[in-house]
Structure 1
């Protein structure tokens, strides 16, 4: 039943005004009608009952979404997110608890709209913890009345919301900040003669140039030492070391090298051991 209710969708037509008019045409339910429908849904998985419950409460979603119009987000999107909360509420509502569905659904509708606002109000999230989210929405209401806070007002707001003064100052600063593009379009690179391409000034903390140069120098030094040490070996010993350790295509076996030189595999092993010893002494010198 849950899966079937989850896929029930309430979509907005292209014209928001038309949607609002249609939503308001659906009659409100009486207590008896609502209880009957919620019981049919809960005990009989009646999707027609779920549809009627949702459609009759769309006007409440529209009303709640208007309270969030000051965030600069599309009203249609706010309503759609609220509709998702309404559907979740309808699915979870227990008709035996003795309250109206709208009282139960308000929490779910606001919760979905809150999540949408926090995801889309800024590119960078302004609130991530539960206390920050509470502060974000309450602080906007308070700032509309008071504007920028002085120290005394910060203490009052912190006391009213049950948070620290530091949290209030930090959230006020986050809310006042504006998103800035790191990599503007070419024609926007220069504003009033100044370079506006912020990405050029970002520090790459994952890169350590000094260590990279040091590593490159060390690898070059080690390669040169090895090359010079190899020159101190006789040709056969150099060929054996190359075939055994420096050939990237394949690592030749002792027997393969022995067959090439017409000697035993044991003799190749001895030559390899002596050559490695000479190389170690030359490199460490």
Structure 2
């Protein structure tokens, strides 16, 4: 396809795991982290790449960035092989691993950006423009002279995202970019990523355990399980296929009999708190309005379905995290 930026055809990745099996013996087991991946991502798409722990998400990202060599199959990013053309492709991609940082731990944030400018050979005018834009939108002005080790997780994550975008990459790989962040930091990151995708046309491949990230950012979602893509389509179709449910957590002013509300089912009831499940594809607004009209409420919140639960429902079996 002419507008395909990422092409993955029959890709596998196997690892050899050695385990102790006695005093002098060790067993050798081949584990397939990725087992026959096939997908294409077009330029300008923002795609959610989700699945349970151990499904192969991070392994896929590492192969797409050239960190890992596939055991078999064909991988192309912007028409190039990520391993053989790793140096050239580095100029065209940005990467953020939520559990790790690319920033220099003991240096101020500003110095990490200066090092990125030199590494990527970013022209002065481009660097100045992009840094100013990232600092403004991610609210980093007061953090530029703070050593990275003194930043909170949310501040460091915003700093990492800015660093990944200074050289104007065509594609951005985000591996759990909102993990461990508070609500405010998550909102800032999501708003910034949506803006980058809309204004620059940056292609984004996003792995996450937070379905809200997907709902607010991605029009397409791929589910990977046991190293294979098991779903590729819209989020509504995923919820429908997985029969996923959201949960209304209702705190009443005083204890009441179990709530009976059309379109919901009672999950459990403990004192003044009741849990009502409803289809994830449905809007919570009319349910909230109906509850507010019938009951004196102290508090109310909506809990999103867990990705593991959605996948388990799709295939009728528990998903085991590894």
Normalising by the smaller structure, the TM-score range is under 0.3
Higher strand share: 2
Higher helix share: 1
TM-score by length of 1: 0.24
Q: Which has the larger radius of gyration?
A: 1
TM-score by length of 2: 0.22
